[in-house]
Amino acid sequence: MGKKVHNEEINEYPEDVKAEYFRLSEWVRRTRKTHGQRVVIHVVDPQSLGGFWKVLKHRIRRYPTFLMDGGERIVGWEGDPDGALNRALARQSGSVQTEARAWF
């Protein structure tokens, strides 16, 4: 039942929002498959109370925005979140995990 309700909720959104949601979901799946436990991903809803606070704190104005360990900030898909993630992993060589936060 949970998946059915989730699908119904997603279908209520405009097409462009759904497309961005599916693109971000695919990026998360691909990243987890490629990097496994080396990467921790936090997806933050900017419309939630906690997300709204983080949007203000980090001065996020466009979505999606990606924040990587080490402070690198990537705005939009054209900013190459995969490249930024690889740079963060290279900086963390020897470390167990790198964090990536995505605001959608």
pLDDT tens digit sequence for 3-13: 554 567 778 88
**Helix-helix angle 2-11:15-35, to 10 degrees:** 130
d(CA 104, CA 98): 20
pLDDT, one tens digit per residue, over 13-57 is 889 888 988 999 999 999 999 988 888 888 888 889 998 998 999
Task: Please give the mean pLDDT across all residues of the chain.
Answer: 83
pTM: 0.76
Dihedral pair phi/psi, residue 38, rounded to 5° = -70, -15
What is the rounded distance in angstroms from the CA atom of residue 97 to the CA atom of residue 28? Answer: 15
Whole-angstrom distance, CA of residue 22 vs CA of residue 50:
22
